[in-house]
Structure 1
């Protein structure tokens, strides 16, 4: 064997030896990595609205480790007046030997009647979600772009809220989440949904203040008609016009209405469909 061949063999062996450790890096759940004293949680800090930073360090001097974060991971606030947090994401991150890592996660509050965490609030690891909350976390980890809906879904389990808060701008996504939560909690599907005002930092998280209420009319016309839709309060005063004198073809008709509720008094409102000046159908909502 000439020198060139010997050099290539040694080079290949060196590359193999360097690559081998990465191929054999162990993956552990965060809790297991902590219990085995490989990972230390330096801090868990609330950075901003629905943003939790988890600072961890691999204290092993020679071994890299992959840390798995599973849906349903929970963190307890050091301030007992603030809400605990739950993670709904599934992630696996490599932490090099002797190095630190500070990933951020979207987090959700689990106690609607407690205060929202303030920037810089500190948390500690607590027991994983169990039962219905665990099942919900696993389901929501598969849904993208649903931060508002996911938060209210969590509260249907942790605070026994109804399903009216499960609004999503994409109707298919909304129906998918509503169906799962209804089956999970044995609560009725909502006839309308509400976009609630978010609680401010250090204030009670669930305000109960409706910003928008989304309802739906569905009916059958035996012939073409000119239709008007208006929304009224309980006193019979019109508060919003949805549309006026719209031509609709005969057959099955379905359309959504949106009540701007933020500046209206709390109470019941009715959306009415008029044909030839007479009430043809009505749908009630409550802010």
Structure 2
């Protein structure tokens, strides 16, 4: 019994002696550390390097909380937004560099150059803060997080959050739709983000995919095709698909759109030569 009490006391002492994490900003305000913030040259993922020098006081974990926004020193470069709490454990009194996960939040600006500077702040956008609260402590891939940030910061399509067979990504997309107070799209757009020589980031749609749904009132032969916003035929996708009886049907839709002109399109279902249903999408 005595040994158990001693063990409990040791555990309790260890617990209460564990340093309480400070935010990095609190440590700076108290003069405990000095910090510089530099771009890694990436616009997404490990996008920020924090260079920290410990000045005084007992070393303890430092936290950069979700909702932090790093403001670029260059007004033409994107700011970097932090979606999840991240801890830094300083090991020495020498200046040390620590990478942070962050995501550009001004899609129309250029990606920051390597070693370009930032000022740490708290985001003013309530919508971005809501997104960060949702994403914190969730295992989401970088593409989905970046697409979600740009959907809110720059009104990019939420269809770019495309890996919705993953339940966590599907929930992320639902949350973005809720924050933006919009209906979710019926389709997903597989996209690449490419950076040009001027460090501008271009959105490159590769594929549109989703489900075509319709309740047929009678049987017949179904065909479907894609039209542009001027209602000009772009591509036939299928002909002569038999609908053997009335009822609700769902058809998988996969369309390669790499190199297509950005704009509005629609896929239209026809039966016996007459258009009976249309579903719109954008590239």
Q: Same fold (TM over 0.5)?
A: yes
**Residue aligned with 1:138, SS:** helix
Moved more, 50-59 or 192-201: 192-201
Residue 52 of structure 1: CA displacement?
A: 2.0
Q: 2:178 matched to which residue of 1?
A: 183
Residue 138 of structure 1: CA displacement?
A: 1.3
Structure 2's unaligned 5+ residue stretches are 1-9
Residue 244 of structure 1: CA displacement?
A: 4.7
Moved more, 62-71 or 214-223: 214-223
Residue 225 of structure 1: CA displacement?
A: 6.0
**Residue aligned with 2:28, SS:** helix
Residue 66 of structure 1: CA displacement?
A: 0.4
State which of 38, 56, 69 in structure 2 corresponds to 1:44.
38
Q: 2:100 matched to which residue of 1?
A: 105
- Given the superposition, is the C-alpha separation of residues 81 and 162 from structure 1 closer, same or farther in structure 2, using an over 3 Å criterion? closer
State which of 129, 135, 139 in structure 2 corresponds to 1:140.
135
Q: 1:170 matched to which residue of 2?
A: 164
**Residue aligned with 1:103, SS:** strand
> Equivalents in 1 of 2:109, 2:173: separation in Å?
25
Moved more, 218-227 or 35-44: 218-227
Contact 2:224 2:236 (C-alpha < 8 Å) held by counterparts: no
Q: 1:211 matched to which residue of 2?
A: 206
- Given the superposition, is the C-alpha separation of residues 46 and 107 from structure 1 closer, same or farther in structure 2, using an over 3 Å criterion? same
Contact 2:72 2:78 (C-alpha < 8 Å) held by counterparts: yes
**Residue aligned with 1:176, SS:** helix
Contact 1:218 1:252 (C-alpha < 8 Å) held by counterparts: yes
Q: 1:72 matched to which residue of 2?
A: 67
Q: 1:266 matched to which residue of 2?
A: 262
- Given the superposition, is the C-alpha separation of residues 90 and 235 from structure 1 closer, same or farther in structure 2, using an over 3 Å criterion? same
Q: 1:286 matched to which residue of 2?
A: 282
Residue 97 of structure 1: CA displacement?
A: 4.6
- Given the superposition, is the C-alpha separation of residues 280 and 151 from structure 1 closer, same or farther in structure 2, using an over 3 Å criterion? same
Residue 209 of structure 1: CA displacement?
A: 5.1
**Residue aligned with 2:176, SS:** helix
When the two structures are aligned, how many residues end up with a matched partner? Answer: 268
Residue 175 of structure 1: CA displacement?
A: 4.0
Q: 2:27 matched to which residue of 1?
A: 33
TM-score (norm 1): 0.76
> Equivalents in 1 of 2:134, 2:258: separation in Å?
31
Q: 2:58 matched to which residue of 1?
A: 63
Contact 1:73 1:129 (C-alpha < 8 Å) held by counterparts: no
Q: 2:249 matched to which residue of 1?
A: 253
Contact 1:272 1:280 (C-alpha < 8 Å) held by counterparts: yes
TM-score (norm 2): 0.77
Q: 1:6 matched to which residue of 2?
A: none
Structure 1's unaligned 5+ residue stretches are 1-15
Residue 190 of structure 1: CA displacement?
A: 2.8
> Equivalents in 1 of 2:15, 2:43: separation in Å?
39
Q: Say what the alpha-carbon RMSD is for the aligned residues.
A: 3.3
Q: What are the superposed Cα offsets for residues 67-111 of structure 1, whole Å, 9 maximum, x if unpaired?
A: 112111111112221011011122223223525543323321122
1:149 aligns with 2:140: no
Contact 1:166 1:174 (C-alpha < 8 Å) held by counterparts: no
Residue 49 of structure 1: CA displacement?
A: 4.0
Residue 27 of structure 1: CA displacement?
A: 1.2
- Given the superposition, is the C-alpha separation of residues 107 and 225 from structure 1 closer, same or farther in structure 2, using an over 3 Å criterion? farther
Q: 2:109 matched to which residue of 1?
A: 114
**Residue aligned with 1:26, SS:** coil
